[in-house]
């Protein structure tokens, strides 16, 4: 039986100013450019479906993660290399998540480009950012730039994010 994360709470730590999430296989369990078919819509019972009526789900705890992080004062961002830019944005809107994200860089290319743009827009240094992604190459690239980067192996949930925040805090105390 899976471990329950219901008693985990996320807390604000010094110097962490921006938490950034990838989308595909980080906040939801699919590639938006290949596994689902637009247009997407919300049904009368509140489910999100694609053009074929296939139900589109996010990882279970993502709404709670976004709510808790925002409630304790974190700024959030999205960085995605998807080629399905408008579709990804549409899903963020249908899931009602756009309100959580201060910055959103969704387009093909390097995650370094995404983070350079986030830095330009927010003036937040890389050393005060935390990043969650499911791809090793992105973790490697951003770690080299000074971003504390966490490889997401299964999904984003409260435990993964709490662990990432703890890793950020530990790294900051070692500097």
Cα 151 to Cα 155: distance, rounded to the nearest angstrom? 10
Beta-bridge partner residues of 130: 19, 148
Instruction: Count helices and strands (H / E) in the chain.
Output: 5, 8
Token pair listed for 172:
């900051």
Contact indicator for 113, 79 with CB cutoff of 8 Å: no
Is 33 in the active site?
no
Tell me: cis bond preceding 96? Omega within 30 of 0 counts: no
Q: Give the active site residue among 22, 133, 141, 157.
A: 22
Q: Do 153 and 164 meet the contact criterion of CB atoms below 8 Å apart?
A: no
78: three-class secondary structure by DSSP: strand
The verdict on whether 24 is a catalytic residue reads yes
| Catalytically active residues, by annotation | 22, 24
């Amino acid at each position: 039986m899976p471990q329950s994360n219901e008693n985990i709470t996320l807390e604000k730590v010094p110097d962490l100013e921006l938490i950034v999430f990838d989308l595909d296989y980080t906040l939801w369990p699919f590639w938006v450019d290949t596994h689902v078919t637009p247009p997407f819509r919300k049904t009368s019972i509140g489910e999100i479906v694609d053009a074929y009526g296939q139900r589109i789900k996010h990882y279970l705890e993502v709404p709670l993660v976004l709510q808790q992080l925002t409630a304790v004062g974190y700024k959030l961002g999205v960085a995605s290399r998807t080629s399905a830019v408008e579709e990804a944005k549409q899903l963020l809107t249908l899931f009602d998540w756009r309100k959580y994200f201060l910055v959103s860089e969704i387009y093909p290319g390097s995650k370094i480009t995404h983070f350079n743009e986030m830095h330009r827009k927010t003036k937040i240094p890389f050393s005060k950012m935390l990043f969650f992604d499911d791809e090793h190459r992105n973790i490697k690239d951003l770690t080299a730039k000074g971003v504390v980067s966490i490889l997401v192996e299964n999904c984003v949930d409260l435990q993964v994010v709490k662990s990432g925040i703890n890793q950020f805090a530990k790294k900051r105390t070692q500097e």
